[in-house]
Amino acid sequence: FDEDGFITIATEDGYSPSEIDAIVEFVDSGGTVIVLEDFGYAGSIGEAYGVRYTGYQLYDTNYVPELDRDYV
């Protein structure tokens, strides 16, 4: 952690209740957290904020291929 934010890649052991409490306190104090999840071990972080990972991939139903360009 630092005073601005952190990035976490979920470990296969998940997070302990004290780690979840520390993350929630950090965010509630204005910190930023980026969670990288692969359908498993970061669910406890999401649950602390009412987010549930379901195991399904997220798709953009409004994706427009014509807009997928690099413009200069």
Higher pLDDT pick, 32 / 54: 32
Residue 39, CA atoms < 13 Å, CB-side half-sphere: 5
Please report which confidence band the pLDDT of residue 70 belongs to, taking 50, 70 and 90 as the band edges. Answer: low
Enter the DSSP assignment of 62.
T
Mean pLDDT of the chain: 76
Cα(7)–Cα(38) distance, integer angstroms: 14
56/33 Cα distance (integer angstroms): 22
Choose among 9, 22, 15, 10: nearest CA to 44: 15
Q: What is the pTM of this model?
A: 0.62
The tens digit of pLDDT for each residue in 41-61 reads 777 888 888 887 777 776 777
7-25 as b/e: b if 16+ CB within 10 A: eeebeeeebeeeeeeebee
